[in-house]
Structure 1
């Protein structure tokens, strides 16, 4: 765990399944994947279509401080994570 905190912002289906727009995590793990796994076990909500938070995360794109990131990305020094499900429409 790193010191400090990271703010997570959820959008669209991720927001619906998480049940919140954002949250702050004080005990930040080393990688984005570890953070996502932790949040998936903490949030048990579902979208209107019945998808669990963990199922939504499987389809998402993630930004760490505005940069596209994969699950193995380090969270050292990170201040913000954005969780972006695929968006429909044009």
Structure 2
């Protein structure tokens, strides 16, 4: 299972700090997260979703060793 960690507004929207998921690809994970956490659905398209520290496309296969970070846009200067 893959570890998904949520930060800032994504944490608030999902209602959890982290969770274990079993989706096979990043695209499937995005769809499942939106379905399982409806408040996250409008935020997720604007989030940086990193797989083990790197941006990748939705076809990326996920493994049990991957850590997914869901990072909403941050304001600052």
Smaller-chain TM-score bracket:
0.7 to 0.9
Q: Which has the higher contact order (CA 8 A, sep 6+)?
A: 2
Partner of 1:55: 42
Q: Distance in 2 between matches of 1:71 and 1:86?
A: 19
Number of aligned residue pairs: give it.
Answer: 77
Work out the CA distance in 1 between the residues paired with 2:11 and 2:33.
12
Q: Give TM-score scaled by structure 1 length.
A: 0.76
Could you list the runs of 4 or more consecutive aligned residues of structure 1 that deviate by over 3 angstroms after TM superposition?
none
Q: Which has the larger radius of gyration?
A: 1
Matched, 1:70 2:57: yes
With normalisation by structure 2, the TM-score equals 0.87
Cα RMSD after superposing both structures = 1.4
